[in-house]
């Protein structure tokens, strides 16, 4: 018999982190829609999730996919950095948010997953679907670009 916990437990346990990763990847405003889409997709697929799966990695993979979809849809609409600012950031924070927002999607995902969710390089690679080497490179290029920006 399946021993998955009630979905509400998954929601309670992971909503903060999923929100923060989405906020980093698409900005606070768009994070709301991506968050709803992420958990709806997760709820639909949940009964088929195998016992003992890494629920956190599974959710972050879905969230990453939703963020990429969103970025593709919005590419020609709004400049990303405008959407990216949290409610009332203090000045140094605003600079960091702005620098994150200006990164290309792959580098932004690597930075957010590594520094916002503490994932190992291998986990980041699996999640965004590239080699570990490529994930490391994206992270370093992203950090370099941010330092130049700041």
Q: Work out whether 46 is an interface residue with another protein (CB under 8 A).
A: yes
The minimum distance between CB 76 and another protein, in angstroms, equals: 26
Q: Work out whether 93 is an interface residue with another protein (CB under 8 A).
A: yes
Q: Work out whether 23 is an interface residue with another protein (CB under 8 A).
A: yes
Give residue for tokens 């709301």. Answer: 32
Q: Work out whether 39 is an interface residue with another protein (CB under 8 A).
A: yes
Q: Is 21 within 8 Å of 116 (Cβ atoms)?
A: yes
Q: Work out whether 134 is an interface residue with another protein (CB under 8 A).
A: no
Rounded to whole angstroms, how far apart are CA atoms 107 and 137?
A: 9
Q: Work out whether 70 is an interface residue with another protein (CB under 8 A).
A: no
The minimum distance between CB 145 and another protein, in angstroms, equals: 13
Pick one of 116, 130, 132, 137: the residue that binds another protein (CB under 8 A). Answer: 116
What lies within 8 Å, CB to CB, of 112 at 6+ separation is: 21, 24, 25, 100
Side-chain-side CA neighbours of residue 89 (13 Å): 15
């Amino acid at each position: 018999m399946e021993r998955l916990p009630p979905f509400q437990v998954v929601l309670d346990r992971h909503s903060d982190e999923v929100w923060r990763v989405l906020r980093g990847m698409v900005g606070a405003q768009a994070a709301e829609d991506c968050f709803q889409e992420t958990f709806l997709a997760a709820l639909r697929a949940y009964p088929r999730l195998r016992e003992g799966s890494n629920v956190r990695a599974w959710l972050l993979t879905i969230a990453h996919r939703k963020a990429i979809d969103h970025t593709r849809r919005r590419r020609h609409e709004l400049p990303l950095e405008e959407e990216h600012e949290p409610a009332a950031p203090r000045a140094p924070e605003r600079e960091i948010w702005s620098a994150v927002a200006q990164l290309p999607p792959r580098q932004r995902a690597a930075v957010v997953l590594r520094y916002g969710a503490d994932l190992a390089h291998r986990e980041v690679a699996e999640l965004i679907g590239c080699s570990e080497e490529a994930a490391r490179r994206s992270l370093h290029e992203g950090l370099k670009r941010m330092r130049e920006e700041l």
